[in-house]
Amino acid sequence: MNASESSPKTAIVRMYQARQQIYPRDVSGRYATLRWTCVWLTQLVFYGMPWLRWNGRQAVLFDLAARKFYLFGIVLWPQDFIYLAVLLIICAFSLFLFTAIAGRVWCGYACPQTVYTKIFLWIESRIEGPRSSRMRLDRQAWSLDKLLRKSGKHLAWGVVALWTGFTFVGYFTSIHDLAREASVLGLGSWEWFWVLFYGFATYGNAGWMREQVCKYMCPYARFQSAMFDRDSLIVTYDAARGEPRSNSFQKTPAPTSSPCIDCSMCVQVCPTGIDIRAGLQYMCIGCAACVDACNMVMDKIGARRGLIRYSTEHAITENLPAAAILRRIFRPRVLIYSSALLVIVSVFLGSLILRVPLKVDVIRDRGSMGREVEDGMVENVYRLQAINADEMPHRYKISVVGIDGIALSGDSEITLAATETRLIPVRVRVPHGQGRPGSNSISFRLQGLDGARSQANEKAVFYIPR
């Protein structure tokens, strides 16, 4: 026995699978058109929204410096944080509902990673050519043609990424001011940081990482199975019809005789590089590119469409018709999600509609708890932080109740400009003998005087020396 035979063999365990470059083939069809429609709609909203004007200002602006969030005719303040929390709950329930009904429909059509990968792949195919040309170009040695094509592609990617980063920052800084500053390279340090950071993230995720984000970084791919059931629509392969596979490309004499011809088109068009014929996989984003590709092949060989299609596990195993699939949509899980979502959205919209555009907080003067003044009156000093959340100036009357004879000392009417916050010093007096020594509960009220129909009440404590 020699030394090489006696030494144990070392097993190499790889913790991370090396990435294999994926070259998705272009495909046309019903779902490809739907994906491009979603790309256009989402990007028109994202790129166009900051440029819309409303009441002389940006329609949608999250002004963190001024702590004001503008959403068309609504102005939200930090005190309105509850609306953001409810909005996130609505998004979560919507995701649960859509996933229970149609699987990863969000991932396949509207997810930013999917949308920008689609845009970047379109740029790549326009500059480097179709799938076969891109594969051949990458195998070639460096030449002037390859350098020009690669440089042009990355330059175009960079322009899209920077414009995306610029637009993102435009939601937090007035985009018109941002454009003027950018034209003379006068952006602030934080603005530069976020434009470049978001642009770099777009460039890296959509240009380089692509399916790696969906496979390894996105948490949705990991917990989606908890929201699926056997009646959720998924992209699936009809193995009962497709197996055993045939290598014949001749047109079949009967439309029912249409097994898989193993052309691998479904794999070539998949943006994550999986084979849908192996069954449901967490890497599948439900984009239905394989459905369009398979239907195109079936049309060419004269076979029946639907070998790969949107269906459910129940429909595949029990050969259910489309009407039965639709009836199974209204199952307990979907009804519970829908009811909860309807209630939350109704409460959210009702709260926004009935929201009073006036807020008031009471701040006691800590330097003086209570003191006696002329005529035997007891006086407490407060500061009222009044917020006019409307985009119109309004006049308000300040009053106070809670103790017999309690009244304000000084002017009781104020005018607040549009979206103004003001600290208002207020002196409150109580006749001697009214109230009990120590703390007494009172309430401040601000009432609109110019038809604003706004009223705000805030509790406070009036202190009478013992």
Quick one: pLDDT at residue 2? 55
Quick one: pLDDT at residue 253? 45
Tens digits of per-residue pLDDT, 260-313? Answer: 898 999 999 999 999 999 988 888 999 999 999 999 999 998 888 989 999 988
Helix boundaries (H) for 319-398: 322-327, 332-353
Quick one: pLDDT at residue 376? 79
**pLDDT above 90 (res 319):** no
Query: Distance of alpha carbon 195 from its chain centroid, rounded?
Result: 19
Query: Distance of alpha carbon 242 from its chain centroid, rounded?
Result: 39
* Phi, psi dihedrals of residue 310, rounded to the nearest 5°: -75, 125
Tens digits of per-residue pLDDT, 111-168? Answer: 999 999 999 999 999 999 999 999 999 999 999 999 999 999 999 999 999 999 999 9
Q: Is the separation of the CB atoms in 123 and 364 below 8 Å? A: no
Reported confidence tier of residue 15, pLDDT bands at 50, 70, 90: low
Query: Which tokens go with 460?
Result: 């406070």
**pLDDT above 50 (res 108):** yes
For tokens 């799938």, name the residue.
131
For tokens 């407060």, name the residue.
382
Quick one: pLDDT at residue 249? 56
Tens digits of per-residue pLDDT, 389-429? Answer: 888 888 899 999 988 888 888 888 888 888 888 898 888 89
Q: Give, to the nearest 10 degrees, the angle between helix 289-301 and helix 30-48.
A: 150
Reported confidence tier of residue 250, pLDDT bands at 50, 70, 90: low
Average pLDDT, rounded, for the chain: 87
Global confidence as pTM: 0.83
**Which of 343, 357, 349 is CA-nearest to residue 386?**
357
Q: What share of the chain is helix, strand, coil (3-state, %, to 5)?
A: 45, 20, 35
Question: Which of residues 251 and 175 earns the better pLDDT score?
Answer: 175
Mean pLDDT of 18-45: 92
Query: Which tokens go with 42?
Result: 């989402």
Adjacent-strand bridge partners of 428: 380, 408
Tell me the C-alpha to C-alpha distance, in Å, between residue 125 and each of 135, 138, 293, 298, 442: 11, 13, 18, 25, 71
Adjacent-strand bridge partners of 218: none
Mean pLDDT of 72-86: 84
**pLDDT above 90 (res 80):** no
**pLDDT above 70 (res 432):** yes
**Which of 283, 281, 287 is CA-nearest to residue 215?**
283
Q: End-to-end distance of the chain based on CA atoms, in angstroms?
A: 104
**pLDDT above 70 (res 104):** yes
Q: Is the separation of the CB atoms in 97 and 338 below 8 Å? A: yes
**pLDDT above 70 (res 377):** yes
Adjacent-strand bridge partners of 424: 384
Return d(Cα 114, Cα 118) in angstroms, integer: 6
